[in-house]
């Protein structure tokens, strides 16, 4: 069975946590805060299979039917080490590939399935966690962010993530010349051409009512804030979130305000919000982000006691991305009722 690096990383994380159940909480720079707050007691799959960590550290797999099987921790550690070596030595960051040494483990431990099921589910891993501060256990869901493969996308491009802008102070000639620009950097070149032509650009609305509603759940002006940053990302050829905030505002007070709002947005799309589904403001993921480094260390950015750390990490480590300009007809001016418009598409990913 072939998996991409992200999927192999999820399996690696699963094995790592079964073998090393004490979660290592880190700050936004991945420096250790502590490793004695949370302990994994059990990991749960969507098909209701449970993997309980016993006092002797061995693992008991319990299917929904009640059938049990025990796995020795030393054998799982060997499998984990082989898996990490194979991931690190596979040089392509994209595409699926097989690791034949893992097939018996997947067929047995995971009954031949991928570790994670539905791609529409926000959480990558669900576990029963012992909170040693409170002296009680709780079910938590986590996202997995792995640096072993390609950077993960937080908000996927779709027709729902289109932003519509009105272009004034132009005529049909400017529209045709703009649309005729087909250079390698056509979006930057079109933005430059419109600026040099004296065009005035004003945000109108988010095309999708659903996504517009979701953004207002975060802040009533978030659509305008994102629209300004999205336009500047092409006009100034800049994708870094913090630099775009600095380009958007005029003073430190506004910078802090925008940074807080973009942090809230990043938190929402990481842990709960989807552009195509009405969001009720509640996040599906309540535990935090499990980080897998380029060398296979596994850390936790914790939402329970260190939410501000998670917010700082997201702001520091996300960027706007460039989806297909052809598919979404970006900066392609069209005319409706005598007025000129174009669309830009929002996509957000980890750096």
Q: How far apart are CA 6 and CA 145, in angstroms?
A: 8
Using alpha carbons, list the distances in angstroms from residue 129 to 41, 42, 63.
Answer: 6, 7, 20
pTM: 0.89
pLDDT for position 118: 55
Nearest residue to 191 (alpha-carbon basis) of 176, 201, 202, 206: 201
pLDDT for position 144: 94
Whether the CB-CB separation of 245 and 262 falls below 8 Å is answered with yes
Helix axes 252-271, 307-317, angle to 10 degrees: 100
Q: How far apart are CA 145 and CA 97, in angstroms?
A: 19
pLDDT for position 43: 97
Q: How far apart are CA 108 and CA 110, in angstroms?
A: 6
pLDDT for position 122: 75
Q: How far apart are CA 50 and CA 59, in angstroms?
A: 10
Nearest residue to 166 (alpha-carbon basis) of 197, 204, 222, 193: 204
The DSSP code sequence of 120-146 is T-S-SEEEEEEETTTTEEEEEEEEEEE
Residues in CB range of 261: below 8 A, 6 or more apart: 218, 219, 221, 222, 225
Q: How far apart are CA 236 and CA 19, in angstroms?
A: 47
Other Cβ atoms less than 10 A from the Cβ of 183: the count is: 9
Whether the CB-CB separation of 321 and 348 falls below 8 Å is answered with yes
The DSSP code sequence of 13-53 is HHHHHHH--B--EE-TT--EEESSSEEEEEEE-TTS-EEEE
What is the helix (H) or strand (E) element at residue 97, kind and residue range? Answer: strand 97-98
Residues in CB range of 227: below 8 A, 6 or more apart: 163, 165, 203, 206, 344
CB-based burial label for 161 (10 Å; 0-12, 13-18, 19+) = buried
pLDDT along the chain (351 residues), means of 10: 89 97 97 97 93 94 94 96 95 86 94 71 90 97 92 92 98 98 95 96 98 97 97 95 93 92 95 96 95 96 96 95 92 97 96 91
The DSSP code sequence of 260-271 is HHHHHHHHHHHH
Whether the CB-CB separation of 218 and 225 falls below 8 Å is answered with no
Q: How far apart are CA 190 and CA 196, in angstroms?
A: 10
pLDDT for position 120: 60
């Amino acid at each position: 069975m072939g998996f991409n690096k992200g999927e192999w990383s999820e399996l690696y994380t699963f094995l790592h946590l079964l073998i090393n159940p004490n979660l290592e909480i880190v700050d936004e720079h991945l420096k250790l805060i502590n490793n004695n707050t949370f302990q994994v007691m059990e990991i749960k799959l969507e098909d209701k299979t449970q993997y309980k960590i016993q006092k002797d550290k061995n693992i008991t797999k319990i299917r929904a039917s009640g059938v049990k099987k025990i796995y020795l921790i030393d054998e799982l550690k060997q499998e984990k080490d082989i898996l990490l070596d194979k991931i690190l030595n596979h040089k392509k960051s994209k595409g699926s590939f097989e690791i034949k040494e893992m097939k018996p483990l997947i067929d047995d431990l995971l009954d031949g399935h991928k570790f994670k099921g539905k791609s529409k589910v926000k959480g990558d891993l669900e576990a029963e966690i012992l909170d040693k501060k409170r002296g009680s256990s709780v079910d938590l869901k986590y996202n997995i962010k792995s640096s072993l493969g390609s950077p993960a996308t937080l908000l996927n491009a779709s027709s729902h993530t289109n932003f519509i802008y009105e272009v004034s102070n132009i005529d049909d000639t400017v529209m045709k010349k703009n649309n005729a620009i087909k250079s390698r950097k056509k979006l930057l070149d079109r933005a430059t051409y419109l600026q040099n032509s004296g065009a005035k650009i004003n945000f109108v609305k988010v095309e999708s009512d659903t996504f517009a509603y979701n953004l207002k759940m975060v802040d009533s002006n978030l659509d305008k804030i994102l629209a300004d940053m999205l336009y500047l990302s092409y006009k100034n050829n800049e994708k870094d979130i913090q630099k775009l905030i600095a380009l958007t505002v005029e003073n430190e007070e506004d910078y802090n305000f925008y940074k807080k709002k973009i942090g809230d947005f990043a938190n929402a799309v990481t842990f709960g919000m989807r552009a195509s589904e009405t969001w009720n403001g509640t996040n599906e993921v309540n535990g935090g982000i499990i980080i897998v480094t380029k060398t296979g260390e596994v850390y936790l950015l914790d939402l329970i006691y260190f939410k501000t750390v998670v917010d700082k990490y997201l702001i520091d480590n996300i960027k706007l991305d460039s989806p297909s300009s052809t598919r979404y007809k970006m900066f392609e001016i069209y005319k409706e009722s005598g007025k000129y418009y174009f669309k830009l598409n929002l996509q957000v990913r980890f750096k």
